[in-house]
Amino acid sequence: MAADMFTFDPELADRIFAYCRERLAMAPVALDFGGTGTDLTGALEGIITPLGTDPAAVLELFTEVLAPRVISGDSERFLAFIPAAPTKASLLFDMIVSASALHAASWLESAGAVAAENQVLELLASLAGLPSGAGGCFVSGGSLGNLSALAVARDDAYRRRPALAGRKVRIALSQEAHSSIGSALHLLHVDPVLVPTVDHQLTGAALAKVLADDPDPETIVAVAATAGTTNAGIIDDLAGVAAVAQEHDLWFHVDGAYGLAGLLSDAVRPRFAGLELADSFIVDPHKWLFAPFDACALLYRRPQLARAVHTQHASYLDILHDDHNIEWNPSDYAVHLSRRPRGLPIWFSLAVHGTAAYGHAVDQAIAIAHDAAALIEAHPDLELIRQPGLSIVLFRRRGWTTADYEAWSERLVLDQIGFVTPTGWEGETVARFAFLHPHTTLEMVEEILATMR
């Protein structure tokens, strides 16, 4: 048996390819849901044995029992959190990445893969207005991207300001920053400095005031702004924050995991003015750039600063940093070493479809968000909380309690009408739509709204 597992099995391959073909062709993608309190221990029991199980039986367990108990992030009816809508080309190419077991930690091993990933990173950097020489790598998600960038922000401050030695440093952010920034600061042993927001937006003026009022401003070494908050799609005052950051010598990080997909849209890009001054930024292709999980693009203005922090040194790795191998090692720019070239699926899809198609798809999500907002405004029982930020709509059903929203959300997914989860807004539970999938229609939105009786 053991020898066989490295030999191509055409029958098993046919089964897997057939499943992949069917799943890729599924239109629409079934929303699916495992129900609340799903218990699969019984279904999985005994499947892993010393001598192996018939592959047909294992695949059947996956297709019949496990897969239907995963809500499809790529369903056009998934409007919760931040959905996903990978292009077919990107999903297909992801299969090539897997089938080839591609590895892309270093230039020595994988120049061909890294060069293509870097082409995407260069495109994003140039749309953002970063100078040539900017660069970075793809990591698994925004959380790791934020952590990696803020580690560089912190260490760069210690390096440049010897007076900080032995002191805890701080990073400024607003209440609306993503939870992953809070986790990153905790891991980095950095304290947050909360900047009060103006209508949920972090502004340069508010940051300047916090710095002016702080008894110990020299320990504030960076600011993390958000380009498209996850809860409401709000873009911080990037230009204002950038100016204050420059004046006070702060590292300027922009978390655009969701919103910076708007860089691909000619209509949205101007709203990111100030981003060109960022020291680092992130955007997740697995969100609004229509790539499969798991992919976050992490960019640095001066990548050499990241290299100084993240390069792993070990005798067995020395060869990766020989003069002739140092061209570009993705492993030098984040908290990782071994990695799949997760930038390749979006590279392939961008090359095949062109950047204009991406801009158009981003614009489409914004358009349906505005159409949905108009429906809500016209509805007697519903109230729009604010005009959509990018493609996110917050609204309330008059008279509903938190329990009403939760019961409604569960019923919706049980009935396979949609996956919509409530959120908190100014202390109140409200409903939230996050649009992203180009196949989500206004009729689907109407169908969902009609259930809020």
Ligand X SMILES: *Cc1c(COP(=O)(O)O)cnc(C)c1O
Positions that interact with ligand X (CB under 6 A): 82, 141-143, 178, 180, 226, 230, 255, 257-258, 284, 296
For residue 439, the minimal CB distance to ligand X (Å) is 21
Which of 219, 423 has the CB closer to ligand X? Answer: 423
Which of 421, 441 has the CB closer to ligand X? Answer: 421
For residue 219, the minimal CB distance to ligand X (Å) is 25
Nearest residue relative to ligand X (C-beta): 142
Which of 232, 344 has the CB closer to ligand X? Answer: 232
Which of 177, 211 has the CB closer to ligand X? Answer: 177
- Preceding peptide of 381 cis, ω within 30°: no
Answer yes or no: are the C-beta atoms of 222 and 253 closer than 8 Å.
yes
For residue 250, the minimal CB distance to ligand X (Å) is 19
Rounded Cα distance, 161 and 240, in Å: 24
Which of 74, 284 has the CB closer to ligand X? Answer: 284
Are β-strands 392-397 and 423-425 bridged in parallel, bridged antiparallel, or unpaired? unpaired
Rounded Cα distance, 87 and 137, in Å: 21
CA distances from 161 to 217, 272, 307 (A): 13, 30, 19
Which of 141, 408 has the CB closer to ligand X? Answer: 141
Closest CA to 229 of 242, 238, 220: 238
Which of 190, 320 has the CB closer to ligand X? Answer: 190
Answer yes or no: are the C-beta atoms of 141 and 378 closer than 8 Å.
no
For residue 255, the minimal CB distance to ligand X (Å) is 5
For residue 52, the minimal CB distance to ligand X (Å) is 35
Provide DSSP, 345-414. Answer: HHHHHHHHH-HHHHHHHHHHHHHHHHHHHHHHHH-TTEEE-SSPBTTEEEEEETT--HHHHHHHHHHHHH
For residue 370, the minimal CB distance to ligand X (Å) is 20
For residue 342, the minimal CB distance to ligand X (Å) is 11
DSSP β-bridge partners for residue 191: 170
Q: Which residues of 22-45 are buried (b: 16+ CB within 10 A; e: fewer)?
A: eeeeeeebebbbeeeeeeeeeeee
